[in-house]
């Protein structure tokens, strides 16, 4: 195994977004390499750790997934307090979820955390035939708001590793 630099970064990452957009599925795809068509929405450990090595750094992610509280369209501020990165997820087949994602972005902007890394993620990219939110629409909104942007599929694994490695690389740069 190649030796890496010895910078070790512990980083809290939170997932935000409407219920059913695939937050838990993205985490399970990344952490366990698994996908379930009937992901139980309110059950689960809601907390995962994962270690990633990128150039010069080892990132220890504490990943906070919701346990269904997003149903009420609000999360206690303690959920994202202290987070180094936030992933705001919408479902490309649901315009409502995109509108909701924008609200989460506003909520994060209100926290005034200039170093917070925010990724906007359009998930379920495998469901092209049911798409309601254009790629360009997501991309434009992200660009206007200074967010990184990716379309993913927890089902096919499209861009899932990229998402977490991109975040790790950004963390390695700023810390
Ligand atoms: P959460 O409420 O945001 O945590 O969403 P879940 O991870 O529980 O996923 C909600 C539903 O969407 C489940 O039935 C998943 O199987 C499904 N799902 C999640 N991600 C994808 C995806 O990328 N593609 C497809 N086709 N279905 C997905
Ligand atoms: Mg969930």
Radius of gyration of the chain (CA): 15
**Minimum mean pLDDT range among 72-76, 98-102, 116-120, 141-145:** 72-76
Taking the C-alpha atoms of residue 58 and residue 122, their distance in angstroms, rounded to an integer, is: 27
Gap from CA of 39 to ligand 1 centroid (Å): 6
User: What residues does ligand 1 touch, defined as CB less than 6 Å away?
Assistant: 19-25, 36-39, 41, 123-124, 126-127, 153-155
Gap from CA of 8 to ligand 1 centroid (Å): 32
Checking if the pLDDT of 68 tops 80, the result is: no
Checking if the pLDDT of 4 tops 80, the result is: no
The predicted structure's pLDDT at residue 153? 98
Taking the C-alpha atoms of residue 101 and residue 104, their distance in angstroms, rounded to an integer, is: 5
**Minimum mean pLDDT range among 99-103, 160-164, 171-175:** 171-175
Kindly report the average pLDDT of the chain as a whole number: 89
Contacts of 62 (CB under 8 A, 6+ apart): 10, 11, 12, 13, 47, 48, 49
Q: Residue 170 has which token pair? A: 């950004």
Flag whether the ipTM exceeds 0.85.
yes
Question: Around Cβ 66, how many Cβ atoms within 10 Å?
Answer: 20
Mean pLDDT of 93-117: 93
In DSSP notation, 51-113 reads EEEETTEEEEEEEE--SSGGGGT---HHHHTT-SEEEEEEETT-HHHHHHHHHHHHHHHHT--
Residue nearest atom 26 of ligand 1, based on CA coordinates: 124
Higher pLDDT, 3 or 64: 64
Gap from CA of 38 to ligand 1 centroid (Å): 8
Checking if the pLDDT of 55 tops 80, the result is: yes
Contact between residue 85 and residue 173 where contact means Cβ atoms under 8 Å apart:
no
Question: Around Cβ 28, how many Cβ atoms within 10 Å?
Answer: 20
Residue nearest atom 18 of ligand 1, based on CA coordinates: 22
Gap from CA of 143 to ligand 2 centroid (Å): 27
Residue whose structure tokens are 């997934």: 65
Mean pLDDT of 131-159: 98
């Amino acid at each position: 195994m190649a030796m890496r630099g010895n910078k070790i970064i512990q980083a809290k990452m939170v997932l935000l977004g409407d219920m059913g957009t695939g937050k838990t599925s993205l985490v399970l795809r990344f952490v366990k390499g698994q996908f379930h068509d009937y992901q139980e929405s309110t059950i689960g450990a809601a907390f995962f750790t994962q270690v990633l090595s990128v150039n010069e750094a080892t990132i220890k992610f504490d990943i906070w997934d919701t346990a269904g509280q997003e149903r009420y369209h609000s999360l206690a501020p303690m959920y994202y307090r202290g987070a180094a990165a936030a992933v705001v997820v919408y479902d490309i087949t649901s315009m409502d979820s995109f509108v909701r994602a924008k609200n989460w972005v506003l909520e994060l902007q209100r926290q005034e955390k200039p170093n917070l890394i925010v990724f906007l993620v359009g998930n379920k990219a495998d469901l092209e035939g049911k798409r309601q939110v254009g790629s360009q629409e997501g991309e434009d909104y992200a660009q206007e708001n200074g967010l990184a942007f990716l379309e993913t599929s927890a089902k096919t694994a499209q861009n899932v590793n990229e998402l977490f490695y991109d975040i790790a690389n950004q963390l390695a740069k700023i810390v």
